Copies of this chain bind each other. A is one copy, B any other.
Amino acid sequence: METQDLKKAGLKVTLPRMKILEILETSNVHHLTAEDIYRQLLEAGEEIGLATVYRVLTQFEAAGLVTRHHFEGGQAVFELERGAHHDHLVCVKCGKVVEFMDETIEAKQRQISSEAGFEITDHALTIYGICRDCR
């Protein structure tokens, strides 16, 4: 199934791409930095360069397999595209990310954009806060 996705995107099926996709698919944390992925590759004994990780993630993003988020902190996080759109609640203490989706908000956004003459290409709603465990 993965190799199909790569081929469809016009990307050759290579070991680095398979491994990176595998990490994104199997990680229980859905939002990973390039560095996170690189570290996991090293721990798994794979000799894959950090430059390759960034390159592959950028290609995955272009192919729609992955979404890049710019949460606070300057470092980008990558998330495997699992179909359903959602927004994020991020804990500013521990970094935990909770996903949510609210059709009322979605609809309001479409209305506001259209009233302002904008054609939506994307949107990002991120709520920052302190989670239960950190209080």
Question: Which of A's residues lie within 8 Å of B, judged by CB?
Answer: 70-72, 74, 76, 89, 91-92, 98, 100, 102, 104-105, 108-109, 112-113, 116-132, 135
Contact = CB atoms under 8 A, between A and B. Distances in A.
Given A70-B74, A104-B104, 20 more contacts: A70-B70, A70-B72, A74-B74, A74-B76, A89-B112, A89-B116, A102-B112, A104-B105, A105-B105, A105-B108, A112-B127, A113-B129, A116-B131, A121-B128, A121-B130, A123-B127, A124-B124, A124-B125, A124-B128, A125-B126
A47 to B, nearest CB: 28
Contact of A116 (B98, B116, B117, B120): B98
Q: How many copies does the complex hold?
A: 2
Nearest to A72: B70
A62 to B, nearest CB: 14
B109 A119 contact: no
Contacts of A72: 70
Given A70-B70, A89-B112, A89-B113, A129 B124 contact: no
A125 B122 CA distance: 11
Nearest to A118: B129
B105 A118 contact: no
Contacts of A74: 70, 74, 76
